[in-house]
Amino acid sequence: MEKKIVLRTKGVGKYFYDPVKFKVLDDISFEAYRGEFLTLVGKSGSGKSTLLYILSTMDTEYEGELFIDEEKITGQNLNKLAAIRNKNIGFVFQFHYLLPEFSCLKNVMVPALKLGKFSHEEVEHQAYERLEMLGIKDQALKPASKLSGGQQQRVAIARALINNPKIIMCDEPTGNLDSKNTQIVFDIFKQITKEFNQTIIAVTHDNDFAKASDRTIELADGKIISHGLDKTKS
Amino acid sequence: MRSVNTEIALTHILTRKRQTIVASLGVSIGIAIYICLNTLIIGTNRYSDNAIFKTTPHIRVYKEDDISKPLSKDTSGKKGTIVIVNPKIANISKNLINPSKLLHDIKNQPDVTAAAPMVTANIFYNNGKSQLTGVGWGLNIIEGDAMFDIQSTMVVGDLRTLLNTPNGIIIGVGIADKLNIKLNDNISVISSVGVIKLMKVVGFFKSSNAVTDKSKSYMNLATAQQLLEEGPNYVTDIYVKIKDPEAAVQYATVLGKLTGYSTEDWKAANELFVAGKKIRAVMFLFISWAILLVAAFGIYNILNMTVSQKLNDIAILKANGFSGKDVVSIFVMEAMVMGIIGTLIGFLLSSIIVTLLSRIYIGADIGYFPIQFEFSVSMTGVGVGLLVTFFAGYIPARKASKVDPVAIFRK
Ligand SMILES: Nc1ncnc2c1ncn2[C@@H]1O[C@H](COP(=O)(O)OP(=O)(O)OP(=O)(O)O)[C@@H](O)[C@H]1O
Ligand SMILES: [Mg+2]
């Protein structure tokens, strides 16, 4: 089967100016394929999160170019970018970010309600399914602020999955999880890439997690030092 | 279907009920005071205008006193004689020429609702040895009533009696008191030109002005003409009533051109009153807007606080595909909910206050407090309230829409 590129960067670079000018990312060019489970590793401070923010379309101040589905993202206006994020990209951040006043269920539903493709009842049903997948269906009606760190992280993952986005980006998605739940998340990621042909780009410090993924890109000092081998080919 | 933006806005509001209520009440008080002040000013203006219109016509057409002109300078040579003259009021009759034609012309004007010929005569009222000076208004009493609502000031007697009583007179209660006169008594009236007439008192009136009550009287036009030794064509003033008193200034010019005589509108005749009214209007406008702005600032403040406390939420929403416009609409909606609740309560509050005020009995002349529910003022108040809250909400909402999610996530 031929591999289709879903996300591509061309010579992406970024500077920070505060306190002194320095280049966090330098000439980053890589591709991510449809259905690929891609991990991003590197030492702390190597620029992984910074790169992920650019890939997520939220950070627009960079040089080089970004393409999603062969559509050029660089230079698009903010409203268009918001719509692209809503439809095509799901996020799980380094620190679990939920809306504290809403129930877990509502948190998961929000991106789908925004998309407006399905009725309220249908969205609710889908949200329950995602929560069940992640083993936190029983917490659905609790306010998000009353959950443990690991539970919140799983709600955030459920939310990232709700719109069936083409790409799911994660910044240390298992940082707060025990080995059992890490395994659950890992299996879900495997499942959605293989069964639903969605793409995962996950930053991780967990070597086992990286090793078990399809491919691992390694960053050091803002440069790609290894594009990794596609383990699915062997 | 309820939009997700609405749902988020409502959740924010419901999780901070206390602040919402405080901000709403701020708006309520602002709107209530705004509506009450403006209703009050309309009520008092209406009352005092009415009081003015009981003695002053909208427009008066009369003949201005001519001032004798200084002799023109000798222009034949360079050293012309300079003549110093002492200008005096020319001794010319104040009679309006051909009054019936003038009256006809004036009445044919589109906005004129009434026009009446008038003769005023300076007179003395005598009863036995006591004497009072005053002014007699000679007019057709029915026309006069249409113009000044004389009927409403009558305390004893009937206006219509004057029509069938050629030498009848209606006097102010002050005159009646001082000269000790009862209904149907006779009094002798002496005019400035020395004509003496015995007149029958057919009624008393009581205006809101004690000086007027001690000097003014109404009589038939012919009687006043006789007192001045003039014929039936002698008319000193034509009083004109028009549809909209506020247009009197412009209309006075129109009538001036039409008749060729001088005209005076009621505002010019009551300059002090008009100036006082203007000052009051500006003062009330200033106060009501100041209070409204304070209320708006309350909303601005609370929303600003909400935005800074909700930076995380804003960043999450943006990461999940909410655009700047969505964020603006969420926060503007929060402001509008507070604004709508506040404005409605304010409207109810003002209606209650106005109703209570209108039941306060002040005194004989004014009667009840001159205030009543003014629909247009209330609607303006509601509109202004909503507009002000919209802007008070829009400013912080715009700030929220500019939040950079990446900067938040990095913290
Ligand atoms: N807003 C900023 N201004 C200036 N420098 C920044 C800013 N944000 C990050 N940096 C710097 O950029 C570099 C890359 O940061 P980044 O967060 O991408 O690292 P990371 O690889 O995600 O690290 P970690 O594994 O610890 O999360 C770091 O040296 C960091 O100090
Ligand atoms: Mg990081």
Q: What is the pLDDT of residues B313-351, one digit of tens each?
A: 999 999 999 999 999 999 999 999 999 999 999 999 999
What pLDDT is attached to residue A165? Answer: 94
pLDDT digits (tens, 9 = 90+) for A100-131: 989 999 999 999 999 989 999 999 999 999 99
Q: Which residue has the higher pLDDT, B83 or B122?
A: B122
Residue B80 lies in a domain: no
Residue B69 lies in a domain: no
In this complex, which of B1, B319, B324 lies closest to A85 when CB atoms are compared? B319
Find the mean pLDDT for residues A195-224. 92
Query: Same domain, yes or no, for B335 and B396?
Result: yes
Query: Same domain, yes or no, for B255 and B322?
Result: no
> Atom of ligand 1 at shortest distance to CA of A47?
18
CA A52 to chain centre: 8
C-beta separation of B242 from B248 below 8 A: yes
How do B168-172 and B196-205 pair as beta strands? parallel
pLDDT digits (tens, 9 = 90+) for B28-54: 998 999 899 889 888 888 888 888 888
Q: Is the CB of A22 inside a 6 Å radius of any atom of ligand 1? A: no
Distance CA B323, CA A81 (A): 8
Q: Is the CB of A15 inside a 6 Å radius of any atom of ligand 1? A: no
Residues in chain B with CB shorter than 8 Å from the CB of A159 are 320
Query: Same domain, yes or no, for B173 and B300?
Result: no
Distances (CA, A) of B133 to A49, A88, B102, B215, B223: 100, 97, 31, 6, 17
Q: Which of B268, B302, B321 is the last residue of a domain?
A: B268
User: Which domain range does residue B247 map to?
Assistant: 59-63+93-268
Minimal-distance CA residue to ligand 1 atom 25:
A44
What pLDDT is attached to residue B1? Answer: 45
Helix, strand, coil distribution of chain B in percent, nearest 5: 55, 20, 25
Which of A46-55, B70-79, B151-160, B299-308 tops mean pLDDT? Answer: A46-55
Query: Same domain, yes or no, for B100 and B222?
Result: yes
Q: Which of B268, B287, B319 is the last residue of a domain?
A: B268
Q: List the structure tokens of B285.
A: 């406008």
In this complex, which of B11, B315, B322 lies closest to A101 when CB atoms are compared? B11
- Cα B303 to averaged position of ligand 2 atoms, centre (Å): 32
Find the mean pLDDT for residues B115-137. 89
What pLDDT is attached to residue A60? Answer: 92
What pLDDT is attached to residue B247? Answer: 86
- Looking at the predicted structure, is the pLDDT value of residue B110 above 90? no
* Phi, psi dihedrals of residue A232, rounded to the nearest 5°: -75, -15
What pLDDT is attached to residue A29? Answer: 94
Residue A82 to residue B312, Cβ atoms within 8 A: no
> Atom of ligand 1 at shortest distance to CA of A17?
4
Query: Same domain, yes or no, for B242 and B335?
Result: no
Residues in chain A with CB shorter than 8 Å from the CB of B402 are none
Alpha helices by DSSP H, listed for chain A, are 48-55, 78-88, 104-115, 120-133, 149-161, 179-196, 207-212
DSSP A30: E
C-beta separation of B85 from B107 below 8 A: no
Q: Is the CB of A18 inside a 6 Å radius of any atom of ligand 1? A: yes
What pLDDT is attached to residue A200? Answer: 94
Query: Same domain, yes or no, for B123 and B254?
Result: yes
Smallest CA-to-CA distance from B371 within B31, B47, B68 is with B47
What pLDDT is attached to residue A134? Answer: 86
Residue B324 to residue A49, Cβ atoms within 8 A: no
Query: Residues A65, A70, A71, A73: is their CA dihedral positive or negative?
Result: negative
Which of A89-93, A150-154, B214-218 tops mean pLDDT? Answer: B214-218
The percent of residues in chain B predicted with pLDDT above 90, rounded, is: 31
Look up the ipTM and state it. Answer: 0.91
Query: Same domain, yes or no, for B261 and B284?
Result: no
Is residue B353 very low, low, confident or very high in pLDDT (cuts 50, 70, 90)? very high
Find the mean pLDDT for residues A91-99. 80
* Mean pLDDT score of chain B: 87
Find the mean pLDDT for residues B254-278. 87
Residue B157 lies in a domain: yes
- Looking at the predicted structure, is the pLDDT value of residue B24 above 50? yes
What pLDDT is attached to residue A37? Answer: 93
- Looking at the predicted structure, is the pLDDT value of residue B96 above 70? yes
Is residue B363 very low, low, confident or very high in pLDDT (cuts 50, 70, 90)? confident
- Cα A94 to averaged position of ligand 1 atoms, centre (Å): 12
What pLDDT is attached to residue A221? Answer: 93
What pLDDT is attached to residue A228? Answer: 82
The answer to whether A24 contacts chain B (CB < 8 Å) is: no
- Looking at the predicted structure, is the pLDDT value of residue A142 above 70? yes
Distance CA A166, CA A87 (A): 8
Beta-bridged to residue B208, according to DSSP, are none
- Looking at the predicted structure, is the pLDDT value of residue A204 above 50? yes
Find the mean pLDDT for residues A64-77. 93
Q: Is the CB of A14 inside a 6 Å radius of any atom of ligand 1? A: no
Q: List the structure tokens of B88.
A: 């005096």
Find, in chain B, the residue whose alpha carbon is nearest to that of A165.
B320
Q: Is the CB of A222 inside a 6 Å radius of any atom of ligand 1? A: no
- Looking at the predicted structure, is the pLDDT value of residue B72 above 60? no
Residue B322 lies in a domain: yes
**A179-193 b/e with 16+ CB inside 10 Å = b?**
eebbebbbebbeebb
What pLDDT is attached to residue B149? Answer: 86
Q: Which residue has the higher pLDDT, A12 or B362?
A: A12
- Cα A29 to averaged position of ligand 1 atoms, centre (Å): 19
- Looking at the predicted structure, is the pLDDT value of residue B205 above 50? yes
> Atom of ligand 1 at shortest distance to CA of B410?
8
Residue B189 lies in a domain: yes
Number of domains, chain B? 2
Which range is least confidently modeled, A59-73, B1-15, B322-336? Answer: B1-15
What pLDDT is attached to residue A105? Answer: 95
Q: Which of B268, B291, B313 is the last residue of a domain?
A: B268
- Looking at the predicted structure, is the pLDDT value of residue A90 above 60? yes
pLDDT digits (tens, 9 = 90+) for A178-203: 888 888 888 889 988 998 899 999 99
Find the mean pLDDT for residues B10-19. 89
Query: Same domain, yes or no, for B129 and B263?
Result: yes
What pLDDT is attached to residue B114? Answer: 85
- Looking at the predicted structure, is the pLDDT value of residue B398 above 80? yes
Is residue A65 very low, low, confident or very high in pLDDT (cuts 50, 70, 90)? very high
Residue B334 lies in a domain: yes
Is residue B90 very low, low, confident or very high in pLDDT (cuts 50, 70, 90)? low
Find the mean pLDDT for residues A50-66. 94
Query: Same domain, yes or no, for B220 and B360?
Result: no
Residue A82 to residue B322, Cβ atoms within 8 A: yes
- Looking at the predicted structure, is the pLDDT value of residue B11 above 50? yes
Nearest ligand to the CA of A220 is: 1
* Mean pLDDT score of chain A: 90
Query: Same domain, yes or no, for B325 and B356?
Result: yes
pLDDT digits (tens, 9 = 90+) for A143-163: 988 988 888 888 998 999 999
The answer to whether A49 contacts chain B (CB < 8 Å) is: yes
Residue B71 lies in a domain: no
Interface of A with B in 146-185 (CB under 8 A): 159
Query: Same domain, yes or no, for B261 and B144?
Result: yes
Residue B83 lies in a domain: no
> Atom of ligand 1 at shortest distance to CA of A48?
21
What pLDDT is attached to residue B248? Answer: 87
- Cα B189 to averaged position of ligand 2 atoms, centre (Å): 108
- Looking at the predicted structure, is the pLDDT value of residue B76 above 60? no
Query: Same domain, yes or no, for B103 and B190?
Result: yes
What pLDDT is attached to residue A2? Answer: 67
Tracing tokens 């809503």 back to the chain, one arrives at A86
Q: Is the CB of B411 inside a 6 Å radius of any atom of ligand 1? A: no
